[in-house]
Amino acid sequence: MTLIDAIILGIVQGLTEFLPISSSGHLALSNRLLGFDKESSGIEFDILLHFSTLLAVLIYFRKKLILMIVSLFKQGSNKDKKMIWLLIIGTLPVVFIGLLLKDSVETISSRPILVCILLCTTGIILFLPVWLKINKKINLGKASALIIGFSQALAILPGISRSGVTITTGMILGISPKKAAEFSFLLAIPAIVGGTILKMNEISSIPANQFGIYLGGMIAAFITGLIAIFCVLNLISKGKFAHFGFYCLFIGTTGLIYFASR
């Protein structure tokens, strides 16, 4: 793997981890189109890229996360301590369903046509809040956190966007778009950490001659991850979140035509 290869994969991972366009789907298609695979990029590199995007969300929400940690040492209940419990509740579905769907994920990743179909599915999902025109407003609670958690579990499938389905589900339930987005990004923390831990046993060692190349990819993933978070929160505040649906439909349809003709 060259430095350019690493930077390309880093950019793809960083942008698509938080933009509602499916990082797993884009990486699966990138591997197929550009000739990358697990052997050429390495499971170690995959884990390092996820760590970089994790670092991006930790830095962006650092103030909120510090308040949440501090709340653990205070008596009584407050909104920061409540958020910790909601994140735990929202994470439970992906833990159990993720283990059940592990083999299915690997199968779908190797079939680009299925990935493209799921990308089109994500595109349709992103339009649901606009089509349904939800007027009710609710606060994030245990039930809504659990429902959002189940939607996140579906995003284990390559082509289904984790941020896309979780934010959309929150909006459909009546949670404000900004609150739904913030919860989605915070929910990404245990999801990324869990996914990384599951892959840790596959790590052997980082080749010394690849260290600089891996670092280049990590920096690219970190920077683009931060940009993606800013982008989503900005667009969702302007009511343009559904615009990503057009992109997913375009990429999914184009991919279907391309791979079906091969």
**Dist. CA 95–CA 107, nearest whole Å:** 19
Whether 187 and 193 have beta carbons less than 8 Å apart is answered as no
**Dist. CA 13–CA 6, nearest whole Å:** 10
pTM surpassing 0.85? yes
Model confidence at 58: pLDDT above 50: yes
Task: Read off the pLDDT of residues 60-72 as tens digits, 9 standing for 90 and up.
Answer: 999 999 999 998 8
As a residue count, the chain comes to 262
- pLDDT band for position 39 (cuts 50, 70, 90): very low
- pLDDT band for position 164 (cuts 50, 70, 90): very high
Mean pLDDT for the chain overall:
86
CA 125 from chain centre, in angstroms, equals: 15
**Dist. CA 44–CA 47, nearest whole Å:** 5
- pLDDT band for position 239 (cuts 50, 70, 90): confident
